[in-house]
Chains A and B, each alone.
Chain A
Amino acid sequence: MTVDMSQFYQVFFEEAGEHLSNMENLLLSLDIESPEQEDLNAIFRAAHSIKGGSATFGFTDIAEVTHILESLLDRIRNGELALQKDMVDVFLRAGDILKDQLAAHQNDEESDAEAARGVCEELTRWQHSDESAAPAKVAQPPESTPPADTATAPEQRYTITFTPSSSPTEHGVHMENMAAELGKLGSVDILAEGSAEHPVWRFALTTAAPEEAIRELFDFFAQPTDVVIESAAPAPDEEEQGYGFFTDIAPPEEETEQGYGFFTDVDAVRKTAEEEAQGYGFFEKIEPPKETAPAAASGGGAGRREAGPKGDAASPGKRGGDKAAPAAQTESIRVSVEKVDQLINLVGELVITQAMVAQTASKLPPDVHETLQVSLSQLEHNTRDLQESVMSIRMMPISFVFSRFPRVVRDLSSKLNKQVELKTVGEGTELDKGLIEKLSDPLTHLVRNSLDHGVESPEKRLAAGKPAKGTITLRASHQGGNVVIEVIDDGAGMDREKILAKAKERGIPVSDTMPDQEVWQLIFEAGFSTAEVVTDVSGRGVGMDVVKKNIIHGMGGRIEMESHNGAGTRIIIRLPLTLAILDGMSVSVGGDIFITPLTYIVESLKPRAEDIKTVSGRGRVVYVRGEYVTLLSLHDVFNIKPVVTEPQDGILVLVEAEGKKVALFVDELVGQHQVVIKSLETNFRKVAGISGATIMGDGKVALILDISSLVRLSQG
């Protein structure tokens, strides 16, 4: 009788994914010359955990790769092999293969066995690159290590009770695997087999391995509370001894193997610590493991859960800080985004309802309803606070995006034979999860572009009197209600003449006197590339237009550029903090209310009659601060009968999008609001000039203007 393990697959995929990205981050930050022992250990632990899980679940391809990887890593961390840059490359490639294999298992597809074999061979070659110094015992995989060595760790008899919390309705074939895995630790007896009605398994295990090792086995497919491990004959002395050998001295590698990696997974350690607090534990006499564990153990893993599902992607910057923090303080839970979004929607409704009540109540005589008014203002305060806290759940540090770039820069610079250093500033800057996801592609394009077209080859740089190593800086910061992300390189800068020539060649209308800002915007035209040769890195002219599309249309952001010939380029992306809420100015046109996103507004003004000019009797322009700006009447665009027909009697809202300015002529400004964005397309269709809708304080729907498309409309 077996339990269907497929219900645990998702947990394994998630955790293995975390281990992999953690491993990659650590590999990238490794100092090849003198790698930190802690980092090496953490990389080893990641590989080891994946191996353990994949073997348990019967993913043999993953287990094979990780096994070879782990053996090699083990030799490196034990100082038997010197780390080399090429080795790191192979490790990274192995990581990619593992990612593919994981994805393949997840989607029930075939993974590329050929590629996996290639990497395995390479890893094996490294493994034997120094045959003389490789004692046989090191290459031995932990599974085949003899179960017990009473000299170092006395045998213990454990009773394990495993109760899957999500009770399986049908049984699979993998319970044998689990029993087999347990068997590798020592001799195992199945005391009780679970059934559909009573899904509880009990095992008796006699082993020298510490409880952690057993727990780790279960770690991949069970909640900590699903597994209760009891020592059949608690022997405090022996326990102390069992723990002790790690605190005394660095353990000889043999013991580490045998102990099934006592510290291989910090989570396991921490889980025990938590359980101890819950009264599950039986090690009353000794300190919780987290105290005895050297800081090394908390390095890689402690910060992981804190930041959410992809926590370890963010960890390189944080690891240092977390080392000192006790593991228990970094508690968090995984919640599906769907639930969070539902919460945000509900709170959005609450804010609207609250505003409606307040509006109605404001019509009542205040002297009679004083307490009502006081309570309502308290309610308003509370709802705003609630909304802010709920919105903050979706906020994630931008390091989730930044963390992928060390790899991108590393791979690309070696491909292009360039020396590039990547600096990241402000990784802690938080923005909406939805934006984080959308930001990843455009930023990759921009960084690749900077690497390929911006930073010059070392020879050219030296000739220009610059250091051979170029620098690309990613910087994120909050400015007002916006998140500003900059991609800065100290490369050659953009060549104005070249761009203009290319634009003319492509038939894009340009003039030689165009301001720089407009010239730079040309590179975002579809199919535009100044690269002489099309490479597999860039030059096809796709990419930058995608960047623009994603950032402006997908995220309501803006792109600005600064470039100086020979000194480098700076691309500045301004994004709203969140996609769900927008700061807007409400304007009225013939009794209808429209919302203009504040990010686009340059200024609002009441024009003088003499500043309004007509062009060929039809189009109107307005003269603002030495500039002629196209005037666009919203009532014409939306076929509304306006209250005000002459611009000088109404208000002009000067907006800017895609580097162009337009003056929107409206009846009047109504006010400034923070509005919850609703899609019109859920139940209706896309409307020209409108990007979405929102619900105002009076319960009415107001439409949000799509400034980019209005600007394009005005350009004809």
Chain B
Amino acid sequence: MAPEATQETTDEVTTNRIQEYLTFTLGAEEYGIDILKVQEIRGYEYEAVTRIANSPEFIKGVINLRGIIVPIVDMRIKFSLGEPEYNQFTVVIILNVNYRIVGMVVDSVSDVIALSPEQIRPAPELGSIMDAQLLTGLGTVDDRMLILVDIGKLMNSPEMALMDDDAAKHAEA
């Protein structure tokens, strides 16, 4: 589990320090999230997921993670990227954000990359595609572009439907 002290620090605090990002792919795009929010990485076991009725399509259900009930979201469905396939290479990133544990299905996990502030450019307004507020910025590594997501904010956002409204407000406060 990530140390608690890092829980509340948002990705905005990218001052002059070099930060490490876990990168993963969704379809053809490469994303990065703050490594300190990642608890562990697991394989996706389709059989082990219990569906939750009447929830959005990207919420796959809940799993038993060593006795803790953890919801699983499929970011490929959420971002409409690529065909969601579930095979032995499908990976779940278990995140520990805002004192909550959430599993996130991605196509594959690439590596851990250290980015200095100069390597991060602010994200342009993307209109309705994605709320720019949820992005820390766009990272450049060689010729690759990394979409850096503020995963804490994203998981908190109402559109993820992961929290009751009260809890979401509380987490933001």
Contact = CB atoms under 8 A, between A and B. Distances in A.
A700 B163 contact: no
Interface string A134-158: 0000000000000000000000000
A339 interface: no
A683 B67 contact: no
Contact of A349 (B62, B67, B101, B164): B67
Given A695-B64, A699-B48, A699-B64, A683 B71 contact: yes
Interface in B38-70: 47-48, 50-55, 61-64, 66-70
B26 interface: no
B102 interface: yes
A173 interface: no
B2 interface: no
Contacts of B68: 678, 682-683
A639 B69 contact: no
B64 A684 contact: no
A680 B53 contact: no
B127 to A, nearest CB: 28
A605 to B, nearest CB: 25
Contacts, number: 74
Interface in A659-706: 678-690, 693, 695, 699-703
A592 B54 CA distance: 14
A163 interface: no
B50 to A, nearest CB: 4
B69 A678 contact: yes
Contact of A681 (B64, B70, B167): B167
B109 interface: no
B48 A684 contact: no
Contact of A682 (B54, B63, B69): B69
Contacts of A637: 53
A104 interface: no
Contact of A639 (B48, B50, B54, B100): B54
A688 B162 CA distance: 14
Contact of B53 (A345, A678, A684, A689): A689
Contact of B50 (A683, A685, A702): A702
Interface residues of B, number: 26
Contacts of B50: 592, 693, 700-703
A88 B71 CA distance: 58
Interface string B137-173: 0000000000000000000000001111001000000
Contacts of A690: 52-53
Contact of B162 (A678, A684, A703): A684
B33 to A, nearest CB: 18
A204 interface: no
A53 interface: no
A638 B51 CA distance: 10
Nearest to A688: B54
Nearest to B168: A685
Interface in A411-447: none
A640 interface: yes
Given A695-B67, A699-B64, A701-B69, A687 B163 contact: no
10 contacts: A678-B67, A680-B69, A682-B68, A683-B100, A683-B101, A683-B102, A684-B162, A684-B163, A695-B69, A701-B62
Interface of B: 47-48, 50-55, 61-64, 66-71, 100-102, 161-164, 167
Interface of A: 345, 348-349, 352, 592, 637-640, 678-690, 693, 695, 699-703
Given A352-B67, A638-B54, A686-B164, 11 more contacts: A345-B67, A592-B51, A681-B164, A683-B70, A683-B102, A684-B62, A685-B164, A688-B54, A701-B61, A701-B63, A701-B69
